[in-house]
Amino acid sequence: MTSAALALSLAATGCEKPADAPAPEAAAEEKAAESSAKAGAAAEKAAADLEKAGADEAATPKAPAEKAAAPAPAAPPSFDAPPDVAAPPADAEKTASGLASTVLKAGDGGEKPTAEAVVEVHYTGWQSSDGEMFDSSHKRGKPAQFPLNRVIKGWTEGLQLMSKGEKRRFWIPAELAYGNVPSRPGAPTGQLVFDVELLGFEEPPKIETPADVAAVPADAKKTASGLAYKVLTPADGPKPTAESMVKVHYSGWTTDGKLFDSSVKRGRPASFPLNGVIKGWTEGVQLMSVGEKTRFWIPAEMAYGETPKRPGAPAGMLVFDIELIGILGGK
């Protein structure tokens, strides 16, 4: 029994209050303290309940937040013929050659490729006559790369109008494409329409014309056939035979200093059987060691002749700088 209860019991029986019994004021204070203790315990219990509820909530896995919707993938290019495939619109840009074009997407407005640049493009081509799609890098799933001066005239001229990132539609007359009656089997005919996107381009390194291109210098060596040569960079590697497959870098000039071909400008070496080229090459490269670089003056009769039969072949004596990179096979 508590002290407060004992005091109440004694008062009810008329007995005297014992000496150690609390006074009435102390009993009131004790009762208030007891109430406060109970309230404190209740508060502690409420806090414990709240803490437990928080722990339970933390332990309960939450539904993941909804992720932002991913952007829709770009629409695949259409291979359907454009509505103006038959003829260029009135507002199309035209050049003196007859090439017409319209800008479909502006580029970065920076530098434009030269005719000698190696370009990277995506494109699709249609025949104007029937709207038939005959070629597309998009359909193959990868861009095309090539030297700009090694394609049809309409492409060589047209892509020089573009900056990186630009997309154009070209209407290329037959005479700037494959003609109305193509000599190449399977080539498209007549006017062609191309949608071309210029992804990028790289200009070839500058190649200086040799000072002695016009004539054989006095210090050049000569063979019995009339082939003249001069070693520019010596090496002591193995030498190929006429049956060897060789890998080379080269540049070739006519005697007026015109560069007509160069693997260096294309940015990749050439490989071929040594007995499958002009006579001057077959004989000359056999004189070289792997790693060597030599300049050759090849007489017309050991090259393409004074009047070449092959269209576009250079005439007369030719000058080549050749670097023998390796021997790939053969005897």
Cα separation, 209 vs 256, whole angstroms: 10
How is residue 193 written in tokens? 């329409």
Per DSSP bridges, beta strands 270-273 and 259-262 are unpaired
How is residue 285 written in tokens? 């490269």
Q: Catalytic one among 298, 304, 322, 327?
A: 304
Q: Is 260 a catalytic residue?
A: yes
Q: How many CB atoms lie within 10 A of CB 257?
A: 12
Q: Which residues contact 253 (CB under 8 A, 6 or more apart)?
A: 209, 210, 213, 259, 260, 318, 319, 320
Q: Is 84 a catalytic residue?
A: no
Rg (CA), the chain: 45
DSSP state of 231: E
How is residue 262 written in tokens? 């160069």
Q: Catalytic one among 229, 320, 321, 322?
A: 320
Task: Choose among 208, 206, 210, 236: nearest CA to 297.
Answer: 210
Q: How many CB atoms lie within 10 A of CB 290?
A: 17
Q: Which residues contact 150 (CB under 8 A, 6 or more apart)?
A: none
Q: Is 320 a catalytic residue?
A: yes
Q: Catalytic one among 79, 108, 130, 260?
A: 260
Q: Catalytic one among 123, 194, 250, 296?
A: 250
The DSSP secondary structure of 177-198, one letter per residue, reads: TT-SS-SSTT---SSEEEEEEE
How is residue 157 written in tokens? 């001229």
Cα separation, 315 vs 299, whole angstroms: 10
Q: Is 304 a catalytic residue?
A: yes
Cα separation, 232 vs 210, whole angstroms: 12
Which sequence positions are flagged as catalytic?
250, 260-261, 278, 304, 320
